[in-house]
Amino acid sequence: MTDQQGRTFVVTGATSGLGLVTARELAARGARVLLAVRDAARGDEVASSLRSAYPGADVEVRQVDLLNLRSIRRAAEEIGEEEAVDILINNAGISMVEHSVTEQGAERHLAANHLGHFALTALLEPALRRSPAPRVVTVTSYMHEKGELDLEHVAWRRRYTPMAAYSASKLANAVFGA
């Protein structure tokens, strides 16, 4: 990866896994990195660790719960105050959780893995458009191949299995990213 100085990245799910590795690599290359995380305390630990590893790293935490539209709106307003967001990396996700639905009535896999990112992306569009070359990266998995979307039944109250719900959310990611 080349030098990323002067570019602002938003990385969801930056406290572990691929999101953490992405944030670390971006910080190492001089990017301004906004860690969009559900758990602000864990985000603060990651930010502190990155600043220690890369003195001068420009890393900040933005709390966002992708299961909650109010939280997404608040985070987007806060992030939208940036001069520009150059790249949004929609990475956060959950897998293999028991059935439950959000306040808005969507099954949690679909809400966290896709709908929350869809809303965040739409709300950050003005900040992305202020960038000379904005990009949105949406992470999915090969499990999209097994997914079936039924947008008439986003609560998955019938025939729920964690694998089917996860796969459907990954299919939604793939379609969104196309």
Provide the annotated active-site residues.
166
Report the distance separating Cα 139 and Cα 149, nearest Å: 17
Cα–Cα distance, 15 to 6 (Å, whole number): 23
The residue with tokens 């709390």 is: 63
Q: From the centroid of its chain, how far is CA 82?
A: 17
What single-letter amino acid sits at 65? D
Q: Is the CB of residue 135 less than 8 Å from the CB of residue 90?
A: no
- Other CB atoms within a 10 A radius of the CB of residue 159 amount to 9
Q: Which residues contact 73 (CB under 8 A, 6 or more apart)?
A: 119, 123
Q: Which residues pair with 58 in a beta bridge?
A: 32
